[in-house]
Amino acid sequence: MKPVIIIGAGGHARVLLDTLSQVSCTILGFTSLCLQRNITSDAFFELPLLGTDEQVFSYPPETIYLVNGLGMVPGSGFLRRRDIYHKFKHKGYTFANIVHPSAVLAANVTLLEGAQIMAGAVIQTGTVIGENCIINTRTAVDHDVMIGSHVHLAPGTTVCGNVTIGDGTFVGAGSTIVQGIEIGANCIIRAGSVIKHKFTNSP
Ligand SMILES: CC(C)(COP(=O)(O)OP(=O)(O)OC[C@H]1O[C@@H](n2cnc3c(N)ncnc32)[C@H](O)[C@@H]1OP(=O)(O)O)[C@@H](O)C(=O)NCCC(=O)NCCS
């Protein structure tokens, strides 16, 4: 695998760093929007802060992979993870797929570019995970689920079989989506929800 740069220096970036440290991978360093921020070297295992995100451009796209370390929770900055992905994709960069060694993936699961499968996740047969998604800690996605791009299934989510989830949707921690349900694009499902009917953000 090519060396990677982690974009971002917050909580999600540190969780990804821990995962990367458990797989064979060279990490060149990380970027941060705010260089003044006090980022302790302990938190990043003494990896170098390369600079702001723009510093990525000093590495030719074909020589590295990027890891999107930005989280995605409702509130300010919600769309930043998606924007960063598009920004670097348009310049020819590739985002690595990250799969924690403790995750369980059926043989014919499809992961599109930049998918991040965190510790303890289980993904069953026939499921497709779209670009730049986060399938977070201990989330279970059952069979034949179609997940669009830029979706975040927060920790402890349960998605039953044959569910469809549109691009850009956030599913809050501990939610359950029952089988066959269609969730629209750009929806916000609050933590602890049980979704039993078609769900969209439209009025
Ligand atoms: C949906 C969400 C974004 C709403 O946030 P918000 O707009 O800031 O909402 P507020 O915190 O102002 O709460 C508004 C009201 O809804 C209630 N509420 C908020 N979230 C709720 C939830 N998940 N379940 C039940 N009630 C909830 C609040 O208690 C409050 O009620 P009140 O006015 O009677 O006190 C937030 O609750 C949520 O679920 N965030 C996701 C958390 C998560 O999964 N994080 C994972 C990080 S990896």
- Measured in angstroms, how far is the CA atom of residue 133 from the centroid of ligand 1? 22
Is 26 a member of any domain? Answer: yes
Same-domain status, 81 and 128: no
Mean pLDDT of 123-132: 98
Ligand 1 in reach of 191 Cβ (< 6 A): yes
Cβ atoms of residues 65 and 3 within 8 Å: yes
CATH number at residue 120: 2.160.10.10
Question: Which one of 90, 110, 136 terminates a domain?
Answer: 90
Is 127 a member of any domain? Answer: yes
Same-domain status, 81 and 143: no
DSSP code, position 138: T
Per-residue model confidence as pLDDT tens digits over 66-102: 999 999 999 988 999 999 999 999 999 999 999 999 9
- Would you state the pLDDT for residue 46? 80
Same-domain status, 12 and 85: yes
pTM of the model: 0.95
CATH number at residue 76: 3.40.50.20
Same-domain status, 62 and 128: no
Ligand 1 in reach of 188 Cβ (< 6 A): yes
Residue 164: Cβ-neighbour burial (10 angstroms; 0-12, 13-18, 19+): middle
Counted domains in the chain: 2
Q: Which atom of ligand 1 is closest in space to residue 175's alpha carbon?
A: 44
Same-domain status, 84 and 128: no
Q: Exposed e or buried b for every residue in 4-21, given b needs 16+ CB within 10 A?
A: bbbbbbbebbbbbbebbe
Question: Which of 158, 169, 190, 201 for mutating ligand 1's site (highest number of atoms within 8 Å of CB)?
Answer: 190
Same-domain status, 145 and 181: yes
Question: Which one of 75, 90, 105 terminates a domain?
Answer: 90
User: Residue 37: which of 16, 58, 12, 10 has the closest Cα?
Assistant: 10
- Would you state the pLDDT for residue 44? 74
Is 203 a member of any domain? Answer: no
Residues spanned by the domain of 189: 97-196
Assign 112 a pLDDT band (cuts: 50, 70, 90): very high
Question: Which one of 90, 125, 155 terminates a domain?
Answer: 90
Q: Which atom of ligand 1 is closest in space to residue 189's alpha carbon?
A: 1
User: Residue 98: which of 80, 120, 74, 114 has the closest Cα?
Assistant: 114
Same-domain status, 113 and 178: yes
Same-domain status, 181 and 123: yes
Assign 203 a pLDDT band (cuts: 50, 70, 90): low
* Angstrom distance (rounded) from CA 183 to CA 192: 16
